[in-house]
Amino acid sequence: MVKEMVREKEKIKILTIFILLGISCFLNYYFHIVLKTGIIYTHFFYIPIIFACIWWRRKGLLVAIFLAVMLIFSHLFFRVHAADISDYIRALMFIVIASVVAALSEKITKGHEETERQKNFSENIITTVPQSLIILDKDLRIKKANLAFYQLFQTKPEKAMGSSLCDLLQDKDGKLKNELTRIIGTKDILKDFEIVYQSEKLGKRVLNIIAKGMIIDEEEVILIQDITERKKAEEALRESEARLIQSEKLSIIGELATGVAHEVRNPLATIRLITQHLERKCADNYQIEKLKTIQRNINRIDKIVYGLLNISRPPRSNFAYHNVNEILDRLGSILENLPSENIKIIKKYEPKLPQIWFNSDCLEQVFLNLISNAMRAMKSGGELYITTSFNSTRKGIIIKFEDTGVGIPEENLKKIFNPFFTTYKEGTGLGLSICQNIINEHKGNISVESKLGKGTTFTIFLPLEKRKEKKQVVDGI
């Protein structure tokens, strides 16, 4: 089809040159024979010469040579006398003009071809580059985009062309617009500008934007990279590193607890017996009160040692298949005895949860600890939402404990799972450390989100896969 069109155009060009040659020959005859002049008519010969050299470049010289020969030998047809020196000069001028026009035409054509080649090359790069690549005009509207852009945003060219990039990327605070406007008409580069993009089709995505300003036409080249998976991998790496550090801490505490437990518990038992004996024998109320204070502190030390031993000896037995909803319902009688005035517990359980492999006693301990902390954070009353659900993507159970309490300061969120960190006077700071250790042993994870004055949410994830049990070495403590 294309070749046929090219042939038709060539035929039209050849026909045009023949017509122009015919007209030139006629004018040659008319001006020389009829009007008896020999100067003006030769100027008409330049018309077919110029057109031929523009269209066919050096091949167009053939037309100039033909007309030059015709001029020199025109006396055989129109003139009485032979060609003189002026005719030879005019014939030479035909060839010179033709050569200049042909050279210029060839140069212009090569320039156009090079421009077209560069354009095709650029378009091929834009089309084949794996990241989203777009070109913006000075108003930050999309002029051109590659296939990766349409695939990333799941849109069509007719919808995207002419639309504002800042509107598309939901740049509500205007930071991206300010940065892109700054580099318009310059050679500046915007690097590693991250923005969170969210849509119903794609969900939440993290995009990295690299922009390069251009002086010509005041355009910008924008490269958009979807770094969501990279961010998830970095977050997973940070969590793994945090777990490793936490594991090392717990290992050190475990070694300390194991070594000190005998040395602490045995004297404590003796002190407790003596204190209880003195309390029974003593009649002085002041002394009795002091002895009770000693007893409370003994119990506190014993509780700390017990917590340390729980950290150092994670649960590795008594695992079986259980339903999380049933374990939570089993806590009902215990929850009734907790101080819960003006606190409403709202249960949102997914009815058909699959059973998972876990130690029910240990998970009860985790759940009670989280519920107790939530109630402690709602001294003036509030609501505690306990939610269970199945995550088909991650293939596991999610349990959430969401309260409407005072919340946790941001600076404390990263510390709350550290051993001995507590904001309560009576607390040992080991509860959440033990909870995290138990969940880690179940190959799950526990996370926390909180806002001051609004409340706190603890989220536990437990995988469906059955974990391999490890044999536990029981010491004599």
Confidence of residue 472 (pLDDT cuts 50, 70, 90): very low
Name the CATH architecture for the domain at 235-312. Answer: Orthogonal Bundle (1.10)
| Cβ–Cβ < 8 Å for 373, 332 | no
Name the CATH architecture for the domain at 320-463. Answer: 2-Layer Sandwich (3.30)
Handedness of CA 64, 67, 73, 79 (dihedral sign): negative
- In this structure, the number of other CB atoms found within 10 A of the CB of residue 235 comes to 10
- In this structure, the number of other CB atoms found within 10 A of the CB of residue 388 comes to 20
Lowest mean pLDDT among 2-6, 58-62, 112-116, 347-351: 2-6
Question: Can you give the three-state secondary structure of 131-170, one letter per residue?
Answer: CEEEEECCCCEEEEECHHHHHHHCCCHHHHCCCEHHHHCC
Domain ranges in the chain? 2-125, 129-226, 235-312, 320-463
pLDDT of residue 314 exceeding 70, the answer is no
Separation between Cα atoms, residue 196 and residue 224, nearest integer Å: 12
Separation between Cα atoms, residue 123 and residue 117, nearest integer Å: 10
Output 261 or 462, whichever has higher pLDDT: 462
pLDDT of residue 446: 92
| Cβ–Cβ < 8 Å for 439, 449 | no
Q: Is 398 helix (H, G, I), strand (E, B) or coil?
A: strand
Residue 418 Cα to chain centre, angstroms: 31
Q: What is the CATH number that goes with domain 129-226?
A: 3.30.450.20
Q: Is 317 helix (H, G, I), strand (E, B) or coil?
A: coil
Spell out the alpha helix ranges (H) of 34-84. Answer: 46-56, 61-72
β-sheet with 396-403: strand ranges across: 343-348, 382-391, 396-403, 455-463, 445-451
Residue type at 1 in one-letter notation = M
- Give percent of the chain with pLDDT exceeding 70: 80
Residue 305 Cα to chain centre, angstroms: 46
For the record, the structure tokens of 150 come out as 């349409």
Q: DSSP assignment of 254-267, as one string?
A: HHHHHHHHHHHHHH
Which residues 6+ apart lie within 8 Å of 24 measured at CB? 44, 45, 47, 48, 67
Output 29 or 141, whichever has higher pLDDT: 141
Q: What is the mean pLDDT of residues 415-438?
A: 78
CA angle 348, 352, 357 (to 5 degrees): 100
Q: Is 423 helix (H, G, I), strand (E, B) or coil?
A: coil
pLDDT of residue 217: 65
Model confidence over 354-411: pLDDT tens digits?
A: 988 888 888 888 998 899 889 888 888 899 999 999 998 888 999 999 999 999 988 8
Model confidence over 68-99: pLDDT tens digits?
A: 887 777 655 555 455 567 778 878 888 888 88
> Which burial class, exposed, middle or buried, applies to 438 when counting CB atoms under 10 A from its CB (0-12, 13-18, 19+)?
buried
Winning range, highest mean pLDDT, from 38-52, 163-177, 443-457: 443-457
Handedness of CA 239, 243, 244, 248 (dihedral sign): positive
Host H or E run for residue 459: strand 455-463
Separation between Cα atoms, residue 434 and residue 250, nearest integer Å: 10
pLDDT of residue 298 exceeding 60, the answer is yes
Which residues 6+ apart lie within 8 Å of 277 measured at CB? none
pTM of the model: 0.47
Q: What is the mean pLDDT of residues 330-357?
A: 80
pLDDT of residue 475 exceeding 50, the answer is no
Lowest mean pLDDT among 13-17, 142-146, 340-344: 340-344
pLDDT of residue 183 exceeding 80, the answer is yes
Residue in the block written with tokens 């609004």: 454
CA dist list (Å): 122 to 125, 142, 164, 253: 5, 17, 23, 62
Q: Which residue, among 183, 143, 187, has the nearest Cα to 163 in the 3D structure?
A: 143
Separation between Cα atoms, residue 20 and residue 44, nearest integer Å: 9
Task: Provide the pairing of β-strand 343-348 with 445-451.
Answer: unpaired
| Cβ–Cβ < 8 Å for 170, 211 | no
CA dist list (Å): 397 to 205, 215, 434, 462: 24, 56, 20, 5
Output 449 or 475, whichever has higher pLDDT: 449
